[in-house]
Structure 1
């Protein structure tokens, strides 16, 4: 059993989060994704609502690690966190209360691949940022995962389909309808995905999205993407 589940908690970005199987355990790389989002918010304050901090949508919140880290470091921000698994929604609720951040987060059980899922999000208004560490492992690579991962963690949170793009393309398709005029999407992906995502976006010009940044993880692998909405 992974040590995080044995201990029942784990640190992420300086926050102590409750961990329970089978909810996905946040990895150190994802802390780098949070850091990049924080940098961009600091550098582009004009891109968020002027009267307040950013409104952020996290797709696939798991334990709430990304959402709660952003809330804790962006005091005026608000987050909408969605996950299709009830166990993840429950755990994010618990961690939000544990950190006393529950007043600035809305946690919704929602499958972004379902028809009409946008209508559940529209009432909250256009968001400034979409952030996600989606399932991105190529299906053929799933069998190479460590036994403790395959035995204990939710494999649905890892398996991204044939090219690891199933949920990524759903997020990119939904995002233009949810983002404000100059909103951004930040994704953690497989090192093979920057090229695949760039090619996919070129084939979907109607989305008005551009890949504007790729960042490497601490092992030097292209791991994070910044996709930005442009005016039609």
Structure 2
């Protein structure tokens, strides 16, 4: 007989559960909604839910579900994912943006608007800010492109050492018509990177969701991650701080005097970063604030440049 969306969701949920696929129900709903042209299963109206699926739709669902059965992350299965209200193309092995990272974007936006408010309180007119932002490890472009959207005067330099990431960021920038305000560089950030990273002069904000997983924890990551994502985007070395230290060591030569670094980190890192900064006073960087993620874990660092 005729097969409806609800039937197919239930069917694949059972198949996924039987095969030990995590988030079986969600995976099934995402795939079916995607084929029906909707973002979420909840957004489908009752007509869509009860209209028999065409053979083509059933085949598409089957194709995508087979990929999910191989533990491919649903973001790669669908080939797109939403981040901060932007729909971004996703392709393995480019790092998939996590939902908590949306808060990293919001912290930068909040800091910029606070700076703007402070200035507008002064008696003399201050030109509207045109912040220059550097993102280290841009991946799909999620952070960089969200910032461009939310800070319409901003410009972003987005850097990644992986060509696949640079290409995907570029593709997403073009799709969202933000390519004229972003400078995308295929470059591995090192202690001697300053020259390449200053095409628009000193930087207001450095933002990064760097690899911060402690190397010993890599083996316990989900199969979805280990099989499909670029592990270099996750592995932060023995202390999880390999790239974090590079960013912080570079920051003083990149930032404006009042500039800031915003990082997403492991919950063990705030204390470690604070100690590291105290051990490197020549950098004149200070840990200004630690913000929690939506699970209540210390996840985001706001580090300020104190040099004069």
TM-score class, shorter-chain normalisation, is over 0.9
| 2:214 pairs with 1:214 | no
**1:55-106 Cα shifts (integer Å, max 9, x gaps):** 0000000000000000001111000000000000000000000000000000
The aligned counterpart of 2:231 is 155
Moved >6 Å (runs of 4+): none
Change (3 A) 1:35 1:51: closer
1:76: which partner in 2? 153
The change in CA–CA distance for 1:50 and 1:200 in structure 2 (over 3 A counts) is: farther
Instruction: Pick from 178, 201, 204 the counterpart of residue 101 of structure 1.
Output: 178
**Distance between the aligned counterparts of 1:120 and 1:7, measured in 2?**
35
Which residue is equivalent to 1:13? 84
Structure 2 CA distance, aligned partners of 1:13 and 1:147?
Answer: 26
The alpha carbon displacement at 1:18 in A equals 0.1
User: Structure 1: which 5+ residue stretches go unaligned?
Assistant: none
Match of 2:246 among 155, 161, 170: 170
What corresponds to 1:57 in structure 2? 134
1:135 is matched with 211
| SS of alignment partner, residue 17 of structure 1 | strand
Q: Which has the higher strand share?
A: 1
Q: Secondary structure at the match of 1:223?
A: strand
- Give the gaps of 5 or more residues in structure 2: 1-71, 120-125
Quick one: distance in 2 between partners of 1:184 and 1:97? 28
Q: Which has the larger radius of gyration?
A: 2
Distance in 1 between residues matched to 2:193 and 2:204, nearest whole Å:
18
Q: 278, 281, 288: which one pairs with 1:205?
A: 281
**2:201 pairs with 112, 125, 128, which one?**
125
Native 8 Å contact 2:285 2:307 kept in 1: no
Deviation at 1:231, TM superposition (A): 2.5
Give the Cα–Cα distance (whole angstroms) in 2 for the partners of residues 50 and 69 of structure 1.
23
Displacement of 1:51: 4.7
Size of the aligned set, in residue pairs, is: 230
Q: Which residue of 95, 104, 128 corresponds with 1:24?
A: 95
Distance in 2, Cα, partners of 1:139 & 1:126: 33
Q: CA deviation at 1:44?
A: 1.2
Query: How well do the aligned residues superpose, as a CA RMSD in angstroms?
Result: 1.3
The TM-score, its normalising length taken from structure 1, stands at 0.96
